[in-house]
Amino acid sequence: MKNLVKLGFAALLSATFITTNAQSKNTENSTLWEVSGNGLTKPSYIAGTCHIMCSKDFEIKPKVMKALEKSDNFVMEINYTDPAEIAAMQKMFHADKKISDQLTPAEAEELDKILADYGTDLKKMDNSSSQGLYALISMKAVPCPQTEIKMYEIELLQNALKSKKKVYGLEKVEDQMTSINKAYDLRAVIGQLKMGKEYEILMKEMVAAFKKEDVQSVYTLFKNEKIMNAEQEKAMLTDRNKNWAEKIPEIMTKESSFFAVGGAHLMGENGIISLLKAKGYTVKPVSSL
């Protein structure tokens, strides 16, 4: 379990800020949604998550825990209990080609100066992947030591394992890395590193909105083209949402399921909620259980 949590922490660090940009016309505020109808014998639930938070801000609403208890299985973006996925995660932050070999001398010098703001340097990070570099943003943006960080999905997973629920994933680590690489090449990641302080402010505002379940404000905050342009949104959100929307019905039809995905994947024209409604399901916000 210790290794599982460590790997999960690393994976969530890399994904936290690249998957938080979306827009929504839905004014109903809830981080938990019930899916029913269209032949389902029991409802399933979808929880939008804030991947990482400081322990002082961290809370899982009672309704979310009750929905998990009522469900037969637990479904994450990636199944952190799958040995093959764990092996893939161990490799995700390392690259065969050095970062310095992909940059001009001037670019390498600039990156070294940027990394100083993150408490490291290019020499230490030279064998990292783009995801390894991007993870630095999350670590800097969260205003507390790593020892005080809580991971929403990992907390839910631990509860699911205690109650011996089956655990599934909506995609593989390889799939997620393909999406990230398509959206953010090395130079794009370096551009994001330059915006570290903007991420710090964004994180604070996002956590405040998430705690109030004010999803409309969350999505308004992250509709920021500096962080994610249209092409990046397609790779990180739209394409993945459509893939997941094809898998979710099959899982729900077999058993009542609890899905935990980054909050940005829920809303918008191509969000999970709209896609499932288009397939004939009734999807409604849950205020209490």
State how far the Cα of 62 lies from the Cα of 113, in Å rounded to an integer.
Answer: 45
State how far the Cα of 249 lies from the Cα of 216, in Å rounded to an integer.
Answer: 26
- What value does the mean pLDDT of the chain take? 86
CB atoms within 10 A of CB 201: 11
State how far the Cα of 207 lies from the Cα of 203, in Å rounded to an integer.
Answer: 6
Q: What local confidence, expressed as pLDDT, does residue 51 receive?
A: 83
**pLDDT exceeds cutoff 50 at 243:** yes
Q: Is 36 helix (H, G, I), strand (E, B) or coil?
A: strand
**pLDDT exceeds cutoff 50 at 289:** yes
**pLDDT exceeds cutoff 90 at 281:** yes
More confident residue, 3 or 117: 117
Q: What local confidence, expressed as pLDDT, does residue 196 receive?
A: 78
State how far the Cα of 190 lies from the Cα of 27, in Å rounded to an integer.
Answer: 35
Q: What local confidence, expressed as pLDDT, does residue 122 receive?
A: 96
∠ Cα 116 121 124 (to 5°): 155
Q: What local confidence, expressed as pLDDT, does residue 26 receive?
A: 43
**pLDDT exceeds cutoff 50 at 22:** no
Q: What local confidence, expressed as pLDDT, does residue 198 receive?
A: 83
Q: What local confidence, expressed as pLDDT, does residue 5 receive?
A: 45
State how far the Cα of 259 lies from the Cα of 76, in Å rounded to an integer.
Answer: 6
Band of the pLDDT at 94, cuts 50, 70, 90?
confident
User: Looking at 79-88, 107-116, 123-132, 176-185, which range is the least confident one?
Assistant: 176-185
- Ramachandran quadrant class, 106 (left: phi over 0; alpha: psi -120 to 50; beta: rest): alpha
Q: Is 269 helix (H, G, I), strand (E, B) or coil?
A: coil
Q: In the predicted model, what is the mean pLDDT of residues 96-123?
A: 94
pLDDT in tens, 189-202: 999 898 878 888 88
Band of the pLDDT at 28, cuts 50, 70, 90?
confident
User: Looking at 73-82, 210-219, 252-261, which range is the least confident one?
Assistant: 210-219
pTM (two decimals): 0.88
Distances (CA, A) of 75 to 41, 144, 147, 190, 219: 18, 28, 26, 33, 23
State how far the Cα of 88 lies from the Cα of 100, in Å rounded to an integer.
Answer: 24
State how far the Cα of 18 lies from the Cα of 4, in Å rounded to an integer.
Answer: 22
**pLDDT exceeds cutoff 50 at 116:** yes
